[in-house]
Structure 1
Amino acid sequence: MTETSFATHEVFNQSPPFEDVDLFGLDRPLVEAVAMNQGSAAHADLSAFGHHWGSAQMAARGRLANENTPKLKTFDARGQRRDEVEFHPAYHELMTESVHAGIHNSTWTAHGTPAGDASEVIRAAKFYMAAQVETGHLCPVTMTRAAVAALGAQPDLLAQVMPVLGSKRYDHSFAPWPDKLGMTIGMGMTEKQGGTDVRSNATTAIRDGEAYRIVGHKWFMSAPMCDAFLVLAQADDGLSCFFMPRFRPDGSVNGLQFQRLKDKLGNRSNASSEVEFTGAYALRVGEEGRGIRTIIQMVQLTRQDCAIASAGLMRSGLAHALHHARHRSVFQKHLADQPLMQTVLADMALQVEASVALVMRLCRAFDEAPADANEAAYMRLLTPAVKYWVCKSAPGFIYEAMECLGGNGYVEDGILARHYREAPVNAIWEGSGNVMCLDVLRALSRESDAAMSVLQGLMMETAGLTGAAEAASLIARTFLRPDSERAARLAVETLAKLAAAAALNAVHPAHAELFAASRLKPQLGILYGAADLSAEQGRELLTRALPD
């Protein structure tokens, strides 16, 4: 009698997991961009980091941290207010690894001054690789690093903080920061009635001796288990910046009462909260009335990290799509050998190559800005432009990567669905697209000579590339228009792409020409708001869409 088998679940023609790989060594565009921007001395360190973060163990930690989301514990068992947030152990393990690698502090000296020596570029390469594994936990990491810049406005406080912040030990115990082995710092700016318009903040600061008592709220305060926060509040002389620890000097829990955790589209591993301040103890950072000028030093750095993380997400999407296509066979050929798929993947690779060249070039400007006025001007003008283009490009890019995997890309078993939910946040946080465009216009108006010098430098660096001269002309014409704000999106996108072509030209001239030919000419913006419409045309379109 013939035995019949009912086993039908033979798995074949599926790509193996993309893990236990070297995220640095496998990424030639990253390796070359780091070397071009003075970071080659860290090759061995970055290779070790890439091997570790590319491991199956780290991938599992990223998955677990997102599947087991943070939980708010408002009270303890006896009814005492605690306002703690509990995280899965995988989240703490990710934080431990990032802090041990110095991603939160390696760009600063022990005294809180810029470390130089390509520290921004080297740290960015690690941030870029870590974002490919798990992006949510990088929120407190980037805020901690960036907070040092704002604390520089209060040297005595900075001197107290740096010995703890300068540690490479992650300590998630709920205790006063001076008693801990290491610390993290968050930020609270936006309120429910104002959002980006922080000048409309209603939170007040009442002087109490050398300190202040803060009364009010914040609509978004991410990473609420940080040991302290930089917050904005209205003092006697106007909007000011304050250092608000989780504990008062007497050891009691400070008056930060978390109302709820935000239920976000992505960024699930990271807690974001609504908070009320009930007479919370705080110390002023910088002068009263200069809060925006103080905290913008922090925001400049967090914007930089938004761009780095988005570039990292795109790199991960490309790597997973290409890995899958090289293993999956369709119509007797591997997907990667099918002409149409090959074209799609190659164009995606070109986008990532330009993006990583651009963010690493921007990071070099951060390294050199303290001693070089031209690099400082590049940093101020290009940071919002780079954030605008890279961060707004990422969601569509990740979608394309998902499509390369077909149904496998759309299910939660893989990482791309998580990347897709994660991708929009970097374009929204730290200033949305319109805010970035306004910041570019502001830099142009305040430092027009320096900004024009940067543009001239980009023209020199892209001389001979297809469409580069026309792109530079469009940028200059738009910014000189009396209604430049109306056409700012196209100009800012073009500025970022011109800067990307320049950065890539220094790394790989042949690919820079490919990028310029396909992105600079014709000068077509791919993002909404790039169409050059008159006010009348805009009103007609909107009225047709929804009569007011």
Structure 2
Amino acid sequence: MSATAVPRSHPSAVTHEVTNQATPLTGYDAADDPVLLEGVSREGAGWHLDELHSMGRFVGSEEAQHWADQANRHEPELRTHDRYGHRIDEVEFHPAYHHLMDASVSAGLAGAAWADARSGAHVARAASFMLATMLEPGHLCPVSMTYAVVPALRRSPDLAKTYEPLLTGRVYDPGLRAPADKRGLLAGMGMTEKQGGTDVRANTTVATEQGDGTWRLRGHKWFTSAPMNDLFLVLAQAPAGLSCFLVPRVLADGSRNTFRIQRLKDKLGNRSNASSEPEFDDTVAWLVGAEGKGVRTIIDMVTMTRLDCVLGSAAGTRAALAQAAHHVRHRAVFGARLIDQPLMRNVIGDLALESEAATTLALRLAGAADRAQRGDESERAFLRLATAVGKYWVCKRQPAAVAEALECLGGNGYDEASGMPRLYREAPLNGIWEGSGNVNALDMLRALAREPASLEAFRAEVTAAAGADSRLDAAWRELQGDLVLTEDAPLRARRVIERAALVLQGSLLVRHAPAAVADAFCASRLAGDRGLAFGTLPPGTGFDALLERLPV
């Protein structure tokens, strides 16, 4: 080309016209979900639907999703000392984190359900908690622990009288100040140590009684999340054995209690949430419950946080499904939308089935928790066994489901901008927190051995669907033999708890889901006609019915 020649324009010079891409999933109501709405009404919180939709619109908003992204990109930072060298042990968070915390505490997701006399209050809280988890799960760790601390703290009425009104409020009031000077409190727990982990009886933190109603703690905890919270339940060795203690970050006179944060954990996911290693050295504490009964006391808290793990994993699965469903509805390949292509319908339908089973079970557990708090002993017995079963299985299934949903987006799903990598990093977490898979499988065996009423309540729940589906009936007959405690029960525990979860989910879906959904579940999860990956539902499955129940 000569120096004076002018290049001709050509349509191909336009290289960045965007076509065949899904729009961002924003500006929608995350509560507009038939599975969630039906479950909330069925479990006794139909009065909460207006507020639930308000939460759903917040979760689906572009602003809230931006906060979720920012809270994870700008991680919390530890400040051990001030500029003059004074020990302060504070954690700084991005403003987006505080926006999320304010929204969740104001929505009653912390301790508010314990102060709500309405039947179904814990179900209402569970449903909104699931929506908030779909938005951003990291900030919900302190929210969950605050919810869970109340029943444990009630074992010491004087302490409960002091702290419960501020734990059950709806005001987010960050910053380390004397509890009496704050409008709301957040709580945490310090259980594990580096030499024991789950085996808390190996803990070496020591508690020494002072004679004035207080104790002093000395020791080191290995994994204490949300160290900026106002107070913690901590396990320590007292003369009568392992005991539970209340440790405030700031004492009544405004002085800082000794709570030296050695470092923050560098975690796989859950990056918006600070997890720490605190050290106690002459730290002031108060005994909660009976001395030597620390595990029994704090297990009240663990039971509720395990429930939140089930809710969180069901919600994480549903969040990934929503993203995948939105993508395949807007993306065309080989001349047809992905959602209209048979194999993709199988994948999305299978994910929808997995999600519905998880959500239905999670809300059933929330309903049992609500009724148990109101004195229903059969529901309390059911919760004892079913929480371990649900915690094991729903949390175990989340990573596989999220990975499959991510794959539906192809390369876009592997890009951080899609949000799917964050969902994937979060997916294994609930399976580890509040007891790994093995811990919950063995807990199931303990419930069977020590609390026969829990098996009877579980039996009543499953057999409520007796005769409705032959595959479910056959699976239950087989499971009953497996539930007999034999010498090799620990070796078989994972297989048994998996089957127990599937039978329980099958019973719930047969009774409460559309017939085509229940049929697909029993065919693929109970009758054995299933491949190892998602998207292997058999011919004859009612895919239209499954896809009608997608969350978007």
Partner of 2:528: 522
Aligned to 1:95: 101
Cα distance change on mapping 1:254 and 1:524 into 2, 3 Å: farther
Q: CA deviation at 1:453?
A: 4.1
2:228 partner SS: coil
The answer to whether structure 1 residue 105 and structure 2 residue 111 are counterparts is yes
Q: Which of 239, 243, 255 is the equivalent residue of 1:240? A: 243
Name the counterpart of 1:194: 196
Q: Is the contact made by 2:381 and 2:453 (CA closer than 8 Å) also made in structure 1?
A: no
Q: Distance in 1 between matches of 2:513 and 2:321?
A: 19
The answer to which of 501-510 and 335-344 deviates more is 501-510
Contact 2:126 2:366 in 1 (8 A): yes
- Check the 8 A contact 1:171/1:180 in 2, yes or no: yes
Which AA in structure 2 matches 1:253?
Answer: R
Pairing of 1:43-122 with structure 2 (within 5 A): 43-109=49-115, 115=117, 117-122=119-124
Give the conservation status (yes or no) of the 8 Å contact 1:217–1:275: yes
Root mean square deviation, CA, Å: 1.6
- Structure 1: how far apart are the matches of 2:119 and 2:532? 36
Which of residues 500, 508, 512 is equivalent to 1:507? 512
Q: Which letter maps to 1:38?
A: G
In the alignment, the residues of structure 2 paired with residue 158 and residue 150 of structure 1 have an alpha-carbon distance, to the nearest angstrom, of 9
| Alpha-carbon shift at residue 507 of structure 1 (Å) | 2.1
Q: Is 1:17 the counterpart of 2:24 in the alignment?
A: yes
Rounded Cα–Cα distance in structure 2 between residues aligned with 1:253 and 1:463: 62
- Measure the CA separation in 2 of the matches of 1:508 and 1:438: 31
Q: Distance in 2 between matches of 1:335 and 1:99?
A: 39
Answer yes or no: is 1:228 the counterpart of 2:228.
no
Q: Distance in 1 between matches of 2:497 and 2:231?
A: 35
1:394 aligns with 2:401: no
In the TM superposition, what is the alpha-carbon distance from 1:469 to its structure 2 partner? 2.2
Q: 2:305 aligns with which of 302, 317, 322?
A: 302
Counterpart residue type for residue 146 of structure 1: A
AA of the residue aligned to 1:186: G
SS at 1:234's partner residue? strand
Tell me the secondary structure at the aligned position of residue 222 of structure 2: strand
**Which residue is 1:212 aligned to?**
215
Q: Relative to 1, partners in 2 of residues 1:469 and 1:406: Cα closer, same or farther, differing over 3 Å?
A: same
Which moves more between the two structures, 38-47 or 451-460? 451-460
Q: Is the 8 A contact 2:178 2:253 kept in 1?
A: no
Pick from 367, 372, 381: which aligns with 2:376?
372
Paired residues of 1:467 and 1:522 also in contact (CA < 8 A): no
- Give 2:267's match in structure 1, choosing from 254, 257, 264: 264
Structure 2 partner of 1:124: 126
Q: Runs in 1 of length 4+ with deviation above 4 angstroms?
A: 523-527
Deviation at 1:189, TM superposition (A): 0.1
Query: Normalising by the residue count of structure 2, what TM-score does the alignment of the two structures yield?
Result: 0.92
Cα contact 2:112–2:167 (8 A) shared by 1: no
Given that 2:414 and 2:421 are in contact with CA atoms closer than 8 Å, whether structure 1 keeps it comes out as yes
User: What corresponds to 1:405 in structure 2?
Assistant: 409
Matched AA of 1:489: R
Equivalent residue, structure 1, for 2:503 = 498
State the AA in 1 paired with 2:63.
Answer: Q
For 2:525, the aligned partner's letter is: R
AA at the equivalent of 1:465:
D
Aligned residues: 522
**For the residues of structure 2 that align with 1:194 and 1:188, how far apart are their CA atoms?**
13
Q: Distance in 1 between matches of 2:379 and 2:41?
A: 18
Residue type of the partner of 1:297?
D
Q: Which moved more, 1:8-17 or 1:476-485?
A: 476-485
**1:181 CA displacement:** 1.2
Counterpart contact for 1:374–1:454, Cα < 8 Å = no
Structure 1 residues 138, 450: closer, same or farther in 2, change over 3 A?
A: closer
Question: How far apart, in 1, do the equivalents of 2:466 and 2:24 lie?
Answer: 40
* 2:468 maps to 1:464: yes
CA contact (8 A) 2:176 2:250 kept: no
Structure 2 Cα separation of the partners of residues 371 and 249 of structure 1:
35
Residues in 2 aligned to 1:388 and 1:453: alpha-carbon distance in whole angstroms: 19
One-letter amino acid of the counterpart of residue 102, structure 1: G
Alignment of 1:29 onto 2:35: yes
Shift in alpha-carbon separation, 1:496–1:309, aligned structure 2, 3 A: same
Separation in 2, partners of 1:41, 1:9: 49
CA contact (8 A) 1:462 1:501 kept: no
CA contact (8 A) 1:206 1:214 kept: yes
Amino acid at match of 1:148: V
1:361-380: CA deviations, max 9, x gaps?
Answer: 11111111142222111111
Where structure 1 has 5 or more consecutive residues not aligned to the other structure, the ranges are: 528-548
Q: Which moved more, 1:339-348 or 1:455-464?
A: 455-464
Q: CA deviation at 1:482?
A: 2.7
AA at the equivalent of 2:424: Y
In structure 2, runs of 5+ residues without a counterpart are 1-5, 534-552
The offset of 1:311, in angstroms, is 0.5
Deviation for aligned residue 1:506: 2.9
Q: CA contact under 8 A between 2:112 and 2:170: conserved in structure 1? A: no
Aligned to 1:360: 363
Q: Which amino acid aligns with 1:96?
A: D
Task: Check conservation: 2:393, 2:498, Cα contact below 8 A.
Answer: yes
Say which SS state the counterpart of residue 21 (structure 1) adopts.
coil
Distance in 2 of aligned mates of 1:523 and 1:232: 47
Query: Hey, what's the Cα distance between the residues in 2 that align with 1:371 and 1:162?
Result: 20
Task: Report the more deviating stretch, 495-504 or 82-91.
Answer: 495-504
Task: Please state how far the C-alpha of 1:125 moved relative to its aligned partner.
Answer: 0.6
The answer to whether the Cα contact below 8 Å between 1:384 and 1:440 also exists between their aligned partners in 2 is yes
Partner of residue 427 from structure 1, selected from 422, 431, 435: 431
- The residue matched to 1:264 in structure 2 has which SS? coil
Alignment CA distance shift 1:457-1:166 (3 Å): closer
Question: How much has 1:4 moved relative to structure 2?
Answer: 4.5
Which residue does 2:545 correspond to in 1? none
Q: Deviations over 1:349-390 (max 9, x none)?
A: 011111111111111111111422221111111001001000
CA distance in 1, matches of 2:198, 2:353: 34
| One of 411, 419, 444 as aligned partner of 1:415 | 419
